[in-house]
Amino acid sequence: MANLLRITDLSTTELEQMVHLAESIKADLKSGGTNTSLSGKTLGMIFQKPSTRTRLSFEVGMAQMGGRALYIRDEEIGLGVRESIADVARVVSRYVDCIMIRAKKHNDIEDLAKHATVPVINGLSDQAHPCQALADVLTIREQCTSKAPKVVFVGDGNNVFVSLANACIMLGYDVVLAAPKGYQIEVPGAAFIENPQEAVKDADIIYTDVWTSMGQEDERDARLAAFHGYQVNESLMALAKPTAKFLHCLPAHRGEEVSNGVMEGAQSVVFDQAENRMHAQKAVLARLIGGI
C-alpha cells in the first residue's frame, strides 16, 4: 500500500493486518506502553472542510508516536487556486513524510497522490472515508462476538457507507443498506433493502450518518423529506438483535438521522468508535511511514 485513498487500496490480508496492528497499538497504549516508531516524522494535514475527530486523532496519534502533525488550512494553500495541485503536492512532499488530506473532490486527492512523492491518506472526500471505516471495523470486532456480523447502514448511501461496506465485505460481514430510492449506491457485495424495518431484522450493528453531508447544504430540505421514516430511533433498534450495537461516525444531528435516546442509550458505542479513529490511524501511519 503506497497511499490510503480508498479501503480497496488494501488487499484483504493488508486490511486484516492493519486491524490487528491497530488492536495491538491500542492495547499497548492502554497498558502504559510507549511507541516512538514515528520519531522525527512529520504529517502534513490539509483540510478543505471542517473536522473534529480527524484532525485531533491524527494530531494526537502522531504526537504519541514521537512525531508531529501540521494543520494546513486550504485558505492558506489554495489547492488548485493559488497554486496547482501538482505543485502543492511536490512542494509539501519536500517538507513532510506523509500527507493527510480532507478534500471536497475525491479526484483532487487522486491528483495530489499522483504528484506527491510521499504517501497520501484520504481524510474524507465526497466518495470515501477509509480512516473512518478502519475505526469502524476495529469497533465492530470489539463489540461483536459474531465472526460474520450483520451490519445494517440506515440512511444515505454516502462516503462513509461506501468505505464501511468495502471493509466489511472484504472481511466477510453481511452488509445491508437501507435507503430510499435515489439515495442508494452500488457497492459490490452489499444488499439493498428500501424498508428500514425489514433491513434491520437480525442486525448485529446498526449504523447511520447525517442525511446532509458537508457540501450538500443546498439539498437539505429535499433530503429531510426523502429520509423521513429512516431515523434510527428506539423502535427501529428494537427490531434488531437485542445485543445489537449502534454506531455513528459523528458528528450526529440528533432528531434527524438518530434520536437522542439511541445516541445516549446502552446500545450506543459511538464514543468508543470515535476513540478508535486514533488507534486505527496510528496503525496506518506506522505502516506507511513507520517501517512497521
Binding site for ligand NVA (CB under 6 A): 124, 158-160, 209-210, 213-214, 249
Query: What nine digits make up the cell of 87?
Result: 505543485
- Mark whether 231 is an active-site residue: no
Rg for the chain, CA atoms, rounded: 19
Sheet of 98-102: strand order equals: 68-73, 42-47, 98-102, 120-122
Q: Tell which residue, 292, 286, 287, 288, has the closest CA to residue 66.
A: 286
159 makes contact, choosing from ligand NVA, ligand CP, none, with CB < 5 to 8 Å by partner type, with ligand NVA
213 makes contact, choosing from ligand NVA, ligand CP, none, with CB < 5 to 8 Å by partner type, with ligand NVA
122 makes contact, choosing from ligand NVA, ligand CP, none, with CB < 5 to 8 Å by partner type, with none
For residues 210 and 215, what is the distance between their CA atoms, to the nearest angstrom? 12
Find all residues with CB under 8 Å of 267, minimum gap 6, and list them.
237, 244, 245, 246
Give the x-and-dash track for 39-58 against ligand CP (CB under 6 A): ------------xxxx----
- Mark whether 126 is an active-site residue: no
| CB of 258 vs ligand CP, minimal distance in Å | 14
Beta pairing partners, 254 = 258
52 makes contact, choosing from ligand NVA, ligand CP, none, with CB < 5 to 8 Å by partner type, with ligand CP
For residues 156 and 177, what is the distance between their CA atoms, to the nearest angstrom? 9
- Mark whether 127 is an active-site residue: no
- Mark whether 273 is an active-site residue: no
Nearer to ligand NVA, 208 or 267 (CB): 208
| CB of 210 vs ligand NVA, minimal distance in Å | 5
Find all residues with CB under 8 Å of 58, minimum gap 6, and list them.
43, 45, 69, 100, 123, 278, 281
- Mark whether 209 is an active-site residue: yes
| CB of 204 vs ligand NVA, minimal distance in Å | 22
- Mark whether 115 is an active-site residue: no
Nearer to ligand CP, 93 or 143 (CB): 143
Active-site positions?
Answer: 102, 129, 132, 209, 249, 277
